[in-house]
């Protein structure tokens, strides 16, 4: 109970780096990870996260199962490409249909393993979207077709890249290049902070989290808190 109270108190904390802050367009690349960074109590405005070695290894080694620079590069490359899969658009369109299985069979490649993967995702979305509609997170079944869960993947990638920078896997040049790739992938699907927030919540919900009210609160806090580098700033 105390840990939950402590967690709720910390949600909305704005942690900024005053000594090594990044500004201008370069800050936009870092800020795509704003929600994920805030949830992990990392700096919002610098390449370094401000997390200690134990916290960094929990994220990189335990959550992502990464133990080397090569594994980190491969994981981040896959993340950047993940939401560029054109079949995902078909899956999200299928969520509106009662005959979604038949629809997917006629649209997707004839690969049983791939079809099963997309089918399970569609069924997960069909269970999840009505709940998010009921809670006023989403406005319609069609809305997620535009942004999918891209923000969740790119935000996690942005924090992961910075954690790898702190652990010495990447130098600043490589880290910046990765962040730019994540930023460009995000911009294809999320044009506003509202879409970014909904996309992040959708992705997080697909992973079993049901804390969308906390995420909505945090997103608003990031936009309005005077300490936040997002205050009065449009990043997307």
Tell me the backbone φ, ψ of residue 97, rounded to 5 degrees. -100, 145
CB 229 within 8 A of CB 16: yes
Residues 141-171 have pLDDT tens digits of 999 999 999 999 999 999 999 999 999 999 9
CB 43 within 8 A of CB 14: no
CB 156 within 8 A of CB 33: yes
Q: Enumerate the H helices of 32-111 as residue ranges.
A: 34-39, 53-57, 69-82, 87-94, 100-107
The count of residues in the chain is 236
| Percent of the residues in the chain that have a pLDDT greater than 70, as a whole number | 93
pLDDT at 2 over 60: no
**Which residues fall within 8 angstroms of residue 99, CB to CB, at 6 or more apart?**
none
pLDDT at 83 over 80: yes
Q: What is the pLDDT of residue 236?
A: 55
How sure is the predictor about 231, in pLDDT bands with cuts at 50, 70 and 90?
confident
Neighbours of 210 (CB within 10 A): 10
CB 137 within 8 A of CB 189: no
Give the whole-angstrom CA distance, residue 10 versus residue 126: 33
- Mean pLDDT over 39-56 rounds to 97
Geometric angle at alpha carbon 113, from 148 and 210, rounded to 5°: 35
**Nearest-CA neighbor of 222 among 40, 5, 23, 44?**
44
- Specify burial of residue 226 (Cβ count, 10 A radius: 0-12, 13-18, 19+): exposed
Neighbours of 57 (CB within 10 A): 16
Domain extent listing, the chain: 1-83+148-236, 85-147
pLDDT at 63 over 70: yes
Q: What is the pTM of this model?
A: 0.92
Neighbours of 147 (CB within 10 A): 26
């Amino acid at each position: 109970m105390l840990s939950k109270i402590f967690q709720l108190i910390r949600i909305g904390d704005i942690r900024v780096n005053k000594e090594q802050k990044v500004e201008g367009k370069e800050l936009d690349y870092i800020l795509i990870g704003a929600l994920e960074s805030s949830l992990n109590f990392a700096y919002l405005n610098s390449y370094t996260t401000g997390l200690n070695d134990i916290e960094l290894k929990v994220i990189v080694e335990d959550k992502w199962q990464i133990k080397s620079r090569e594994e980190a590069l491969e994981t981040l490359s896959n993340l950047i490409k993940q939401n560029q899969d054109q079949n995902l658009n078909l899956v999200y369109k299928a969520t509106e249909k009662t005959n979604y299985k038949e629809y997917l069979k006629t649209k997707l490649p004839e690969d049983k393993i791939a079809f099963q993967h997309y089918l399970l995702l569609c069924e997960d979305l069909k269970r999840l979207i009505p709940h998010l509609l009921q809670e006023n997170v989403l406005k319609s079944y069609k809305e997620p077709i535009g942004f999918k869960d891209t923000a969740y993947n790119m935000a996690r990638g942005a924090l992961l890249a910075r954690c790898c920078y702190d652990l010495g896997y990447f130098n600043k040049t490589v880290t910046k290049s990765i962040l730019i790739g994540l930023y460009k992938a995000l911009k294809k699907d999320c044009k506003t902070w509202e879409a970014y927030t909904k996309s992040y919540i959708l992705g997080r919900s697909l992973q079993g989290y049901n804390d969308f009210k906390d995420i909505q609160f945090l997103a608003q806090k990031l936009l309005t808190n005077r300490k936040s580098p997002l205050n009065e700033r449009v990043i997307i």
